[in-house]
Chain A
Amino acid sequence: MTGNTLLSVEDVIVDLPTPRGNLRAVDRVDLTVGTGRTLGIVGESGCGKTMLSRAVLQLLPKKAKLSGRVMFDGQDLLQLPPEKLRKLRGRSLAVVFQDPMTSLNPVLTIGTQLIETLQEHLELDDATAKKRSVELLAAVGIPAPEQRLAQYPHQLSGGMRQRVAIAIALSCEPKLLIADEPTTALDVTIQAQILDLLAREQRRRHMAMIIITHDLGVVAGRTDEVAVMYAGRVVERAPTPALFKRMRMPYTEALLAALPKLDAAPHTPLPAISGRPPDPTRPLQGCSFSPRCRYAVARCQSEKPPLEAAETSAHQFACFHPIETHADANA
């Protein structure tokens, strides 16, 4: 990676005990994010994206078991006392969730929530904190920001709520913002606005960002690097242009193919990925994608493909039979 490494996730495993047995939500994930860079994490529902981001934030469910190392800004987060962690979160490490109500308090006005966050981390007096709050709301595209300070979250639309959640996340100038499906619950037009907003603020603040999504379309023009997750593992990882130029992992190719194409005629059947990801409490011996993979051979069922680069490049994939060329993929 170029530049300084801000976040490094090393061999992270998240295990969750369930009535059906142990559920490995995240399985030996390694990732890095450089200062000011953007990483996209893509994968289907249930593949471990949220658990991975919660592992980074140290916001896992109580019963979860975490192993590995999470280094952020020179500190080992797993070793940090809870008090210091709390300080870090909201200050240099911020998060925006899919459902803005997860991070907003329904009984407090937007103004109170913004001002409290600012004062907790930045020691501002009331007047300055209020002024900053208005500026932040204006920056995230909320009209009439002064009036909004007195409103409650339920008085806003979903898009507006997400803007407020972003304003709060940005309020203390974080070094890293984790956006976990920030637009999945929103309309396409509002989605475009929110993604533009995040990109603009990121550039302005030279902040690093992780965007989590199930839609490859969302990460294409907006990230430096993409990691594709499947069944808890990273199965392909590459600089964004390289990934879209030449996908190697059949799962990534299948995810892309499943998107409706703008240039296809109506009623063109979509190449759907058949079936579903495996039950995470019943891990497969071989490649987790093998039951759904059209390139699978016997070896795929018995052996787990490691995540590695074929050439001396940054492009890694976990597959015994990577797709050779893009032309092949379309054949």
Chain B
Amino acid sequence: MMLQSAPSVSSEALLDVDNLVVEYPVGAKIVHAVSGVSLQIARGETLGLVGESGCGKSTLGRAVLQLRRPTAGRVLFDGQDLTAMQGDALRLMRRRVQLIFQDPIASLNPRRKIGDIVAEPLVIAGVKDPEKRKQLVHEVLTAVGLDPTLVVGRLPHEFSGGQCQRICIARALILNPEFIVCDEPVSALDVSIRAQILNLLEEMKGRFGLTLLFIAHDLAVVKAVSDRVAVMYLGRLCEVGPSEQLFARPAHPYTALLIEAIPVPDPDVRPTETVPVGEPPSPIAPPSGCRFRTRCPRADQRCSDEMPELRAVAPGQFVACHHPLI
């Protein structure tokens, strides 16, 4: 697959994921969580990653950061292969990459004060001067819209979900990383707080020159912040393309399904009842050929015999389907 990016971002790939495979052994069986995913993210770009629950989004995000070692494949970050790194080299590299989780409240240690939680990455990174740490904590809390003097001495349970997510973002930013995996950062939040956090992430991205992998299951949310979108189904990529193009002309039947499922706040738009009933098959025994075929209205014999590879259908738009919509 060629590197494609929106015109405004430089085309240098900061992240290059090549044929990544992640499997979890469960008993005698194997969960095929990620099965051969390749993607690139240019410096300064936001790549959105969408797909249903259990399709492997978090696994992919964690494997990229080496929080879960992949079964096979390579992850080049700024030209260096993270999968081959160990010990100190990996630890140093980890400062440049961060993760923000879906459940903001659960990802904060309930017994530690906010000031200590946000400072923790500094401690791990060996910043010994407490005054320096304090100053950096104050700066980053201010940047995410919290009042440091009111916040540092308090415990996580005293904050709402949206505020906890701001704290998580502050913690992720404090080492001045280059790349952040945002794993469903707004899925647990209300519509109004969601908008605040999405705006904050966009602002932080500009201010700190970040590159983002933005994971969500809601295509509308992903579109709001992403230059390009990758659609994932049962461990594989279905489609990758520039956000607007993907929305206007989805090529993969699954992308079209995800777009259709977005609730539209307009009473004249009657919800279509064409979403196929049923849920993704088990990743322990994924279907042969195209993994989407058990729910796809266009499936035929070829789809069960032959696995579709990603190929270009339009400039910058790639689809893995034998019978694409365009």
Query: C-beta contact mask, B163-189 vs A, less than 8 Å → 1, else 0?
Result: 000000000000000000000000000
Flag whether A85 is at the interface (Cβ < 8 A). Answer: no
Flag whether A124 is at the interface (Cβ < 8 A). Answer: no
Cβ contact within 8 Å between A189 and B261: yes
Which of chain B's residues have a CB closer than 8 A to the CB of A6?
Answer: none
Which of chain B's residues have a CB closer than 8 A to the CB of A193?
Answer: 275, 277
Flag whether A265 is at the interface (Cβ < 8 A). Answer: yes
List residues of B (124-168) whose CB comes within 8 Å of A's CBs. Answer: 160-162
- Among B192, B258, B275: residue with most chain A CB under 10 A: B192
CA distance A239 to B217 in the complex (A): 31
Chain B residues with a Cβ closer than 8 Å to the other chain, count: 49
- Minimum distance in angstroms from A294 CB to a CB of chain B: 14
CB contact under 8 A between A45 and B226, given known A220-B265, A240-B267: no
Flag whether B220 is at the interface (Cβ < 8 A). Answer: yes
Which of chain A's residues have a CB closer than 8 A to the CB of B37?
Answer: none
Which of chain A's residues have a CB closer than 8 A to the CB of B217?
Answer: 187-188
Q: Which of A44, A190, A267, A276 contacts B191 (CB 8 A)?
A: A44
- Minimum distance in angstroms from A6 CB to a CB of chain B: 22
Which of chain A's residues have a CB closer than 8 A to the CB of B275?
Answer: 189, 192-193, 196
- Minimum distance in angstroms from A198 CB to a CB of chain B: 11
CA distance A268 to B202 in the complex (A): 9
Flag whether B110 is at the interface (Cβ < 8 A). Answer: no
Cβ contact within 8 Å between A191 and B261: yes
Which of chain A's residues have a CB closer than 8 A to the CB of B297?
Answer: none
List residues of B (189-221) whose CB comes within 8 Å of A's CBs. Answer: 190-196, 198-199, 202, 217-221
Flag whether B278 is at the interface (Cβ < 8 A). Answer: yes
Select from chain A the residue with minimum beta-carbon distance to B254. A189
CA distance A215 to B262 in the complex (A): 11
Cβ contact within 8 Å between B266 and A220: yes
Flag whether B53 is at the interface (Cβ < 8 A). Answer: yes
Flag whether A143 is at the interface (Cβ < 8 A). Answer: yes
- Minimum distance in angstroms from A302 CB to a CB of chain B: 25
CA distance A192 to B260 in the complex (A): 9
Query: C-beta contact mask, A254-285 vs B, less than 8 Å → 1, else 0?
Result: 11101111101111111111101000000000
Residue ranges of A at the interface with B (Cβ–Cβ < 8 Å): 44-45, 141, 143, 157-160, 186-193, 195-196, 199-200, 214-218, 220-222, 240-241, 244, 254-256, 258-262, 264-274, 276
Which of chain B's residues have a CB closer than 8 A to the CB of A214?
Answer: 190-192
- Among B219, B227, B273: residue with most chain A CB under 10 A: B273
Cβ contact within 8 Å between A270 and B267: no
Cβ contact within 8 Å between B244 and A265: yes
CB contact under 8 A between A217 and B264, given known A258-B191, A267-B225: yes
Query: C-beta contact mask, B225-262 vs A, less than 8 Å → 1, else 0?
Result: 11100000000000000011001000000000110111
Query: C-beta contact mask, B282-300 vs A, less than 8 Å → 1, else 0?
Result: 0000000000000000000
Select from chain B the residue with minimum beta-carbon distance to A292. B192
Cβ contact within 8 Å between A266 and B257: no
Flag whether B28 is at the interface (Cβ < 8 A). Answer: no
CA distance A196 to B279 in the complex (A): 15
Tell me the dominant secondary structure on chain A's binding face. Answer: loop
Cβ contact within 8 Å between A272 and B225: no
Select from chain A the residue with minimum beta-carbon distance to B194. A258
CA distance A315 to B261 in the complex (A): 29
Q: Which of A44, A188, A268 contacts B261 (CB 8 A)?
A: A188
- Among B219, B227, B269, B278: residue with most chain A CB under 10 A: B278
CB contact under 8 A between A221 and B218, given known A189-B275, A267-B202, A273-B192: no
Cβ contact within 8 Å between A268 and B224: yes
CA distance A63 to B13 in the complex (A): 59
Cβ contact within 8 Å between B263 and A215: yes
CA distance A150 to B150 in the complex (A): 53
CA distance A147 to B224 in the complex (A): 42
Cβ contact within 8 Å between B279 and A160: yes
- Minimum distance in angstroms from B210 CB to a CB of chain A: 13
Q: Which of B221, B226, B244, B265 contacts A256 (CB 8 A)?
A: B265
Cβ contact within 8 Å between A217 and B263: yes
Q: Which of B52, B161, B224, B268 contacts A260 (CB 8 A)?
A: B224
Q: Which of B219, B224, B247, B278 contacts A270 (CB 8 A)?
A: B224
- Minimum distance in angstroms from A39 CB to a CB of chain B: 14
Cβ contact within 8 Å between A258 and B192: yes
Which of chain B's residues have a CB closer than 8 A to the CB of A264?
Answer: 224
Q: Which of A189, A218, A265 contacts B258 (CB 8 A)?
A: A189
Extra contacts, 4 of them, besides A192-B263, A220-B269 (Cβ < 8 A), are: A241-B267, A258-B191, A258-B192, A270-B199
Flag whether B223 is at the interface (Cβ < 8 A). Answer: yes
CA distance A225 to B244 in the complex (A): 34
Which of chain A's residues have a CB closer than 8 A to the CB of B270?
Answer: 221
Which of chain A's residues have a CB closer than 8 A to the CB of B194?
Answer: 258
Flag whether B324 is at the interface (Cβ < 8 A). Answer: no
Which of chain A's residues have a CB closer than 8 A to the CB of B263?
Answer: 188, 191-192, 195, 215, 217-218, 220-221
Give 14 pairs: A residue, B residue, CB < 8 Å, sorted on A. A187-B217, A189-B52, A189-B258, A189-B261, A193-B275, A216-B265, A221-B266, A221-B270, A241-B267, A259-B265, A261-B220, A265-B244, A269-B199, A270-B195
Cβ contact within 8 Å between A195 and B192: no
- Minimum distance in angstroms from A239 CB to a CB of chain B: 9
Q: Which of B53, B193, B260, B271 contacts A221 (CB 8 A)?
A: B271
CA distance A331 to B271 in the complex (A): 28
Q: Which of A195, A265, A272 contacts B271 (CB 8 A)?
A: A195
Q: Which of B161, B225, B265 contacts A244 (CB 8 A)?
A: B265
CA distance A259 to B223 in the complex (A): 12
- Among A141, A160, A187: residue with most chain B CB under 10 A: A187
Which of chain B's residues have a CB closer than 8 A to the CB of A216?
Answer: 191, 265
